[in-house]
Amino acid sequence: MLTIKNLSKTYDNGVKALDNVNLAIPKGMFGLLGPNGAGKSSLMRTIATLQDADSGSIDFDGIDVLNNPQALRQRLGYLPQDFGVYPRISAYELLDHLAVLKGLKNSAERKEAVEGLLAQTNLYQHRKNAVSGFSGGMRQRFGIAQALLGDPDLLIVDEPTAGLDPEERNRFHNLLVSLGEEKAIILSTHIVEDVTELCPNMAVLASGQIILEGNPVEVTSQLNGQIWRKAIAQAEVASVEEQYNVISKRLFAGQTIVHVMADNAPLGFEAAPANLEDVYFSTLNQHRSRTAETSVETSTESSAESSVKSNVA
Amino acid sequence: MLMKMFAFEWRYFTKQPSFYVTSLIFFLLTFFATVSENVQIGGGGNVLYNGPFSIAQTLLIMGLFAMFLVVNFVASTATRNDSSKMSELLYSKPINPLSYQLGRFLGSFAIVATVFAFVPLGILIGSLLGGLVGWIDPERLGATNLSHYFTAYFYLSLPSLFVLSCFFYAVAIKFRSMMAVYLSAVGLFILYTISGQLLNEPEYRTMSALLDPFALNTFGEVTRYWTMFDKNNSPIELSGMLLENRLLWLGISVVIMALFGGFRSKVRLSQVKVKKQSKKALKKADAQLALQTEKIPQLLDNNISTKSAGVQSGAHMRMRILFEIKQVIFSAPFLVLAVLTIFMLVAPLVDPQGMFGTPNWPLTQNMVELIAGSTGLLMMIVLAYYSAEIVWRERNSGMGDIVDSMPVNNITFWLSKIIAISLVLVLLYVCGVAVTVTNQWLLGYNNLDLSQYVVRLGYLGLIPLIFTAVLAFFLQVISPNKYIGMMLFVLFIISSITLSNFGFSHNMFQFSSAPQVPYSDINGYGSFLESNHWYMLYWGGVTLVLASLTYALWHRGPAQKLKTRIKKVSYYLAAPGKVTIALGLVLFVGAGSVIHYNTRVVNEFMISDDREDLQAAYEKKYVEYLNATIPTVTKTHAKVDIFPEERRIEAVAELTLTNTSNQAIDKFLVAKPQHTQQWNVEIDGGKLGEVDAKFDTAWFTFDQPLQPGETRQGKLTAIRDNNGFTDGNNDFNLVKNGTFINNFELFPVFGYQASYQLTDRHDRRKHELAPLQRANKLEDERFYNESFFGNGVGFIDFEATISTSKEQFAIAPGYLQSEKVEGNRKIYHYKMDAPIVNFYSVMSAKLANKKQQYKGIDIEVYYHETHEMNVDRMIESVKDSIDYFTEHFGPYQHKQMRIIEFPGYRSFAQSFANTVPYSEKIGFISDLRDPENIDPAYYVTAHEVAHQWWGHQVGAANVQGNAIISESLSQYSALMVMEKKYGKDKIRKFLKYELDRYLRGRSVEAIEEMPLFRSENQQYIHYRKGSVVMMALKDRFGEARVNASLKGFLEDFKYQSTPYPTTIDLMAYITEGATQEEKSFVSNMFEHISLYDLKTTDVKVVAVVGKEDFYDVTLTIDAALKRADGQGKETEVEFVDLIDIGLFNADPEDLSAKDFVLYLAKHEIKTGSNEVTIRVQGKPTFAGVDPFVKYIDRDSADNIYRL
């Protein structure tokens, strides 16, 4: 439904935000994973008609997005990663305002949609309060509500669940799922779990490049039998990291659980079922080491540290 | 800690663009003010651009603007922790409030002081660079003396900045809100202007000098009567009043900081107001619960999948317009602006400054000018501020990404915002109109003429402002952020001021400007509105293009580079946008062609530099004929046909000419009148040669030279025509209603035209012309046969036939012989029975009139129907004047006296033989209801009537001092009439104004102050000093003696032209039979620039033993007489004179006091210390020397000693 071809964007300061991005996004939920600064928001903004690319094209259902942004805007719902609101305007008024802008011209229909969305996002009881006075979570819910106005065919949500409590997060996920499969929903996040729960398709973006694309179940299954885990003390972490290809570590009950990737079980490790997080981290690690290698090749002044890391990898 | 905080603030601000932007603006403002002649901040007259006075004055004026600096830097420091949400991080640290706050305060104050240092730097670099490159005439620059910059900066600016910083820091700390700071800034500004207005009266000047935190009034008071010499040489001294002022305010600011600077309390978060739980709130909670359980579950089933119906231009536009308006109008800044507008108007309305302190009636034409004038700068600030605020609203609120990705056309954003900003402008004007209309109503003036408000403010004022708003939006949109956008706008304003310096003074080069559309109650808009329409079409075309580009380049999404947005221009313009641009270009080119054709082809347009070059070239080419003899007219029959609707005059003057000189005339120069295409001079025995088109000048050559004493017949013709429109060079003499033109303007004039010469000393130097001789030397007898009207102007027999349209009447000097209507023309024939000076007016207008006969003299006043207020007073003044002058000087030569009001494009009254054209701007509109005020209508009328004697009966030779005979004597005569009617107190009040205006006049003299009897057409001398001197003379010699001298003078020189009298003759009559002391008094007054310094230093009162209520009063009086040279440099001379000593039981300054004089007599006072003892009944409370200030004294306040 949405086809991105050879999309590149370099900022004035030399940062390559998007580096020849190619993506085909079908209907349904699409998860876009990536660490901070990977270029997710740049990509989201470019698709959402707010930013131009240096080269490449975006096509949505026959609309040339880069050259005819106005046509896409009618079918777009967008929740930016970070946004503010006009001061001193109540939630209802502001949502109604945005609904008009979105093109809901029939006032009865608009009222129904606005009230419905306020209820869906659990804001209805706060509708008379100024959005500028909302807490972070409430404001985020307001953002979600406005993105859903006008039943968009393309919904882009950038870090939608940031700041939401678990209950609200569930509610939002349910809402997204209930929106049906007729629209393309791009969910940009750094929380792997969100993608696991929701998305039949996903991609990983790092340093402006797509480094992985596919179905979460499929990409996870490729790693089955290669992931091993062990609970170790904090002090041991460094030596384990030196020894093995550690793809992730997290704390559990005061101990560090490390996941390593290897064809055979390292000593003392037990087999762990591969999950999307493992895929994500291993892909990222591989990507980082690749770029580190390139930087070694290209720059004579490169630090010893990066070459050490590449050995470890 | 303190140093760390200081350094932190410094680093913080030096990283902000606002630091550099404001520094640059302050620098550029003074830089341009120094190098360009169009921008003037301080100085004036002949003051050196880098002299101590103009540096100080510039710094002081810029100090007012520094208020914005302080608010921007110091107050934002105080509130930054709250506004940047850093407070929670910071206040959880252990902070010592004193060093923390003080460090931050001093850091931001240092920034303010640094930014302001760019003001003197701008002057310094401007004067150095300007002198080097040649932008400034080297004569305008003194030696660069850094101490002038430092003293001004450290004595005047820095303490003021400190006061402001303390004040705003304290306010910001106290209220933790920028809005509170803005409000207090506006409050301070309002308080300042109003108190400035109210304290402007002389008696409050000392107080206002002390209480002025900006030291502007203090400096004004210290330098009030500084002459050029003082201004360019006296350094600013931190002493006296200035020292007191600075110490006072330093003290106040330290106290403010100590009490409210937040040093004592712990740094903490601002208190969050918690709403109290009330019953209402509890009820509300119940309602919420019900909502939760009943309503919301239903709502969850709502259909939320209504599809977007695409771009809804109409609905979007309606909603966004309402939205933007709401955002703008219901915001504190707008309220602040509205209040500011109102107060800026209230101050001048509460204390209107009319002639001699007498207010004018609140005519709508003046009210409109007041609104437009007092909001001019404000509107530019509004545009700069609001264009940034409004254009960047989406970005600043953080809502940009959401709103920009909505299916909304760019034009919706643009149009709704431009409407909102326009509405701000409209509403500010509406506030202004509300104030002035209320004022009119309160003052009982009910000729509101609301249509004038609509046309002049709504159309002439608002449309260009809205065009400028479109430009401001454009500048914002092409900028990457709002600060750059604002800076571009400020640069635009600066450039529009300086453009004309570089020859782009035609209004076609100045965005949204058009030639002024002057208004007059008599002539309405005349024909001047038409050209304005064309200019508005022209700029409207540009505006359409800018508007289209602006919305096409609109920021969608987080600031994209201009280059990227330009790629989408065509997409966002779409077909309607392209059509609009095309239409705009068509308008621009079309209207531009019309304007070009009218202003440059049909009419002449010349930039001032070219005009100067031409003037200089004229002088160089023809100056040798300056004193060439020319024929003198002895008899005139003017036949003038006026066509007011077409603004055309066809005129012929049949002349009899003679040669009054003692040599034959074989040729003479003739100058073409303005706005005249067809003209001719025909005199028997000669003809007009080729016209030198460059100078509009031709030679008239006699085949047979005109011999001395020979008389010939001649004819002047001129067809004055106004075709199309001009770029401001309007013909105000010939208008649809209220034509008033004199013979020198209407007909070709003979001889070298001295009025074409450059007068400004610096312009003359630039063109390598010798310094201008303003007048012929008093002793130069060659000019004694020439009248002060100039070469070849003498007394004539006069007759005029004037026709005009049927609706109007036409008038010229003389008695009406016949009046008839032929077709749609009215024809008047006037004939004069006594000789008149060859200087006559022709007028045509439709006016109301009032006629009275008095002692065989017809008194007529022609006036606009809404200006009837003072007509009776004028008639009374004519009667009183004729009575007094007839009794004391001699008979009135005519049997008629006519006053005719003319449009206020020019504001003077002028006396022709039995005819006085009188501008609608003066006298007619004075509000005379308060008897305490001076009556300008009565005074001006008496002055003009006096000219029938002084000027029309007795002329003056064309040498220095000639205006003393015509003007000073008329002033004296008018004052005597006034004294008879209004009493001595009024005259004292009048003379106070005159003395003040004389002393201020000499402080801005451009070339050289002359002694009274050598006055070179210097108004502050022949009017102002003339009044003071003549009344002092009358006080000294007595009314009878002065009048007798004048009568003798008049009788001996009546109608005499060979020779005309000079001031030497006049003084001879005055000093006839005078004692030596009196002669030296007259000499001091007339022949020297004398400044008395009289001072009562001590007064002792001793009760007389044995005599109840009798006191011996001993006054110690210091006296000095100083003589000034033409530049104001003084030297002391010895003097002995009889001067008033007075004892009073009330302040003699208080004009309302009655019966307060215990003793008043003249005593001999000499240079040095004098002691005078007087026995008086009743205990005096005030005692002093020259208490009524009859002598010229720069500091008259110390004359009186308060017991």
Interface predicted TM-score of the whole assembly (ipTM), two decimals: 0.88
Short-list B391, B228, B403, CA closest to B316: B403
Beta-carbon pairs below 8 A across chains A and B: 147
Task: Kindly report, residue by residue over B737-749, the tens digit of the pLDDT.
Answer: 999 999 999 999 9
* Gap between the Cα atoms of B98 and B873, Å rounded: 69
Mutation target to probe the A interface, by most A beta carbons within 10 A, among B406, B412, B554, B561 is B406
* Gap between the Cα atoms of B381 and B630, Å rounded: 57
At B840 the pLDDT is 94
Options 1.10.3470, 3.30.410, 1.20.1250, 2.60.40; CATH for B1088-1203 is: 2.60.40
Looking at residue A276, its amino acid is L
CATH number of A2-213: 3.40.50.300
Q: Which value, in Å, is the radius of gyration of the alpha carbons in chain B? A: 35
- Asked if B700 and B670 touch (Cβ cutoff 8 Å), the reply is yes
Looking at the complex, report in whole angstroms how far the Cα of residue A83 sits from the nearest Cα belonging to chain B: 5
Give the Cα-Cα-Cα angle B1157, B1159, B1161 (nearest 5 degrees): 120
Tell me whether residues B558 and A76 touch, CB distance under 8 A: no
Looking at the complex, report in whole angstroms how far the Cα of residue A211 sits from the nearest Cα belonging to chain B: 27
- A chain contacts of residue B300, beta-carbon cutoff 8 Å: 116, 119-120
Short-list B796, B1105, B1088, B740, CA closest to B955: B796
3-class secondary structure for B271-337? CCCCCCCCHHHHHHHHHHHHHHHHHHHHHCCCCCCCCCCCCCHHHHHHHHHHHHHHHHHCCHHHHHH
Tell me whether residues B315 and A102 touch, CB distance under 8 A: no
What are the φ and ψ backbone dihedral angles of A212, each rounded to 5 degrees? -160, 140
Options 2.60.40.1730, 1.20.1600.10, 2.60.40.10, 2.60.120.10; CATH for B627-751+789-954 is: 2.60.40.1730
Question: Which 3 state secondary structure label does DSSP give B639?
Answer: strand
- A chain contacts of residue B558, beta-carbon cutoff 8 Å: 45, 50-51
* Gap between the Cα atoms of B211 and B531, Å rounded: 48
- Asked if B1088 and B1065 touch (Cβ cutoff 8 Å), the reply is no
Give the Cα-Cα-Cα angle B947, B952, B956 (nearest 5 degrees): 95
At B870 the pLDDT is 95
At B39 the pLDDT is 59
Handedness of CA A12, A14, A17, A18 (dihedral sign): positive
- A chain contacts of residue B402, beta-carbon cutoff 8 Å: 78-80, 83, 98, 143, 146
Out of A50, A97, A101, closest to residue B556 by CB: A50
Looking at residue A302, its amino acid is S
Tell me whether residues A150 and B300 touch, CB distance under 8 A: no
**From the CB of residue B985, how many other CB atoms can be counted at a distance below 10 Å?**
15
Mutation target to probe the A interface, by most A beta carbons within 10 A, among B306, B334, B569 is B306
At A313 the pLDDT is 30
Tell me whether residues B327 and A109 touch, CB distance under 8 A: no
Tell me whether residues A101 and B406 touch, CB distance under 8 A: yes
Handedness of CA A73, A77, A81, A87 (dihedral sign): positive
At B203 the pLDDT is 66
* Gap between the Cα atoms of B653 and B1140, Å rounded: 57
At A301 the pLDDT is 38
Q: Which residue of A has its CA nearest to B306?
A: A150
- Asked if B349 and B435 touch (Cβ cutoff 8 Å), the reply is yes
Q: Residue for token digits 């602040």?
A: B336
Q: Cα dist. B453→B109, B331, B354, B829, B1131 in Å?
A: 44, 27, 22, 41, 55
pLDDT at A139 over 60: yes
Q: Cα dist. A203→A214, A247, B62, B1024, B1165 in Å?
A: 6, 18, 60, 90, 106
Q: Does B323 touch chain A (CB under 8 A)?
A: yes
Q: How confident is the model at residue A309 (pLDDT cuts 50, 70, 90)?
A: very low
Q: Cα dist. B195→B198, B221, B348, B395 in Å?
A: 5, 15, 11, 41
Q: Is the peptide bond before B1059 cis (omega within 30 degrees of 0)?
A: yes
Mutation target to probe the B interface, by most B beta carbons within 10 A, among A9, A49, A52 is A52
Task: Kindly report, residue by residue over A142-167, the tens digit of the pLDDT.
Answer: 999 999 998 899 999 988 887 788 88
- Coarse DSSP helix, strand, coil percentages of chain A, rounded to the nearest 5 percent: 40, 25, 35
Give the Cα-Cα-Cα angle B70, B72, B75 (nearest 5 degrees): 70
Tell me whether residues B310 and A113 touch, CB distance under 8 A: no
At B44 the pLDDT is 61
In chain B, domain spans: 2-179+204-260, 313-602, 627-751+789-954, 1088-1203
Q: What is the DSSP string of B446-458?
A: ----HHHIIIIII
Out of B292, B306, B571, closest to residue A104 by CB: B306
Question: Do B627-751+789-954 and B1088-1203 fold alike per CATH?
Answer: yes
Tell me whether residues B398 and A85 touch, CB distance under 8 A: yes
B305: tokens are 């999948």
Task: Kindly report, residue by residue over A65-119, the tens digit of the pLDDT.
Answer: 999 999 999 999 999 988 989 988 999 999 999 999 998 888 899 999 999 999 9
Residue ranges in chain B modelled with pLDDT below 70: 37-45, 85-86, 198, 200-203, 264-282, 1151
Residue B690 parent element (H or E):
strand B686-692
* Gap between the Cα atoms of A290 and A310, Å rounded: 8
B315: tokens are 């609905």
Task: Kindly report, residue by residue over B562-611, the tens digit of the pLDDT.
Answer: 888 998 899 999 899 999 999 999 999 999 999 999 999 999 898 888 99
Out of B299, B315, B567, closest to residue A124 by CB: B299
Residues 6+ apart with CB under 8 A from B321: B415, B416, B419, B420
Tell me whether residues A113 and B302 touch, CB distance under 8 A: yes
Q: How confident is the model at residue A298 (pLDDT cuts 50, 70, 90)?
A: very low
- Asked if B832 and B815 touch (Cβ cutoff 8 Å), the reply is yes
Strands A55-60 and A2-10: what pairing? antiparallel
Question: Which 3 state secondary structure label does DSSP give B707?
Answer: coil
Looking at the complex, report in whole angstroms how far the Cα of residue A40 sits from the nearest Cα belonging to chain B: 15
* Gap between the Cα atoms of B745 and B877, Å rounded: 30
Looking at the complex, report in whole angstroms how far the Cα of residue B388 sits from the nearest Cα belonging to chain A: 16
* Gap between the Cα atoms of A143 and B1024, Å rounded: 74
* Gap between the Cα atoms of B1022 and B1003, Å rounded: 16
* Gap between the Cα atoms of A122 and A134, Å rounded: 13
- Angle at which helices B410-442 and B462-477 cross, to 10°: 150
Tell me whether residues B401 and A78 touch, CB distance under 8 A: yes
- B chain contacts of residue A119, beta-carbon cutoff 8 Å: 296, 299-300, 302
Residues 6+ apart with CB under 8 A from B929: none
What are the φ and ψ backbone dihedral angles of A158, each rounded to 5 degrees? -105, 110
* Gap between the Cα atoms of B30 and B54, Å rounded: 11
At A290 the pLDDT is 79
DSSP β-bridge partners for residue B900:
B862, B917
* Gap between the Cα atoms of B1034 and B530, Å rounded: 54
* Gap between the Cα atoms of B916 and B898, Å rounded: 6
In chain A, domain spans: 2-213, 220-312
DSSP strand E in B475-563: where? none
**pTM for the whole structure:** 0.88
Looking at the complex, report in whole angstroms how far the Cα of residue A228 sits from the nearest Cα belonging to chain B: 42
Residue B636 parent element (H or E):
strand B632-643
Looking at the complex, report in whole angstroms how far the Cα of residue A45 sits from the nearest Cα belonging to chain B: 8
At B963 the pLDDT is 94
At B270 the pLDDT is 59
Residues 6+ apart with CB under 8 A from A222: A274, A279
Mutation target to probe the A interface, by most A beta carbons within 10 A, among B289, B308, B313, B325 is B308
Strands B841-845 and B739-742: what pairing? antiparallel
Report how far apart the first and last C-alpha atoms of chain B are (Å, whole number): 56
Looking at the complex, report in whole angstroms how far the Cα of residue A124 sits from the nearest Cα belonging to chain B: 7
Q: Which residue of A has its CA nearest to B554?
A: A50
Q: Which residue of A has its CA nearest to B290?
A: A125
At A311 the pLDDT is 34
Q: Cα dist. B580→B550, B551, B566, B572, B1048 in Å?
A: 12, 12, 18, 13, 78
- B chain contacts of residue A52, beta-carbon cutoff 8 Å: 560, 564, 567-568
Looking at residue B708, its amino acid is P
HSE at residue B627, side-chain half, CA atoms within 13 A, is: 13
Tell me whether residues B401 and A146 touch, CB distance under 8 A: no
Looking at the complex, report in whole angstroms how far the Cα of residue B304 sits from the nearest Cα belonging to chain A: 4
Q: How confident is the model at residue A300 (pLDDT cuts 50, 70, 90)?
A: very low
Q: Which value, in Å, is the radius of gyration of the alpha carbons in chain A? A: 22
3-class secondary structure for B1070-1129? HCCCCCHHHHHHHHHHHHCEEEEEEEEEEEEEEECCCCCCEEEEEEEEEEEEEEECCCCC
At B340 the pLDDT is 82
